[in-house]
Amino acid sequence: MFRVLTASCSTALVLILLGAMEWIEVNIAKEWLSVADICEYMDVSTFVVTSVLRSGQLPAVKFGREWRVARRDFETWINEERAQGGSVEERRA
């Protein structure tokens, strides 16, 4: 049978996968991040961030034309991506 992972299970799984790697903490004072916040933090274009958001790989909410990402979700996503290795595009192919 399949088991749905909750946020706490997912975080625990990431910690196991990371092993010797340190957990990356996103030290941004806001609880909800904009596309611009993520672009600045990751030093990538808005196209890259919105592509990831539209694909559903990074949990987000949309208010009209604006995306918002919970800082905790962003932090978890970064660490999961790091644990899996490679880029999002490489895994999609």
Q: What is the pLDDT of residue 21?
A: 75
Q: Does residue 67 contact residue 61 with C-beta atoms inside 8 Å? A: yes
The tens place of each residue's pLDDT in the chain, 93 residues long, gives 333 444 555 555 555 555 567 899 999 999 999 999 999 999 999 999 999 999 999 999 999 999 999 999 999 999 999 888 855 555 444
Residue 67 CA to residue 48 CA, distance in Å, equals 13
What one-character-per-residue DSSP string does the chain give? ---PPPHHHHHHHHHHHHTTSPPPP---S-SEE-HHHHHHHHT--HHHHHHHHHHTSS--EEETTEEEEEHHHHHHHHHHHHHH-S-HHHHH-
Q: What is the pLDDT of residue 1?
A: 33
At the topology level of CATH, where does 30-92 sit?
Multidrug-efflux Transporter Regulator; Chain: A; Domain 2 (1.10.1660)
Provide the token pair at 84. Answer: 């899996």
Provide the token pair at 17. Answer: 């996968």
Q: Would you kindly state where each structural domain of the chain is located, as residue ranges? A: 30-92
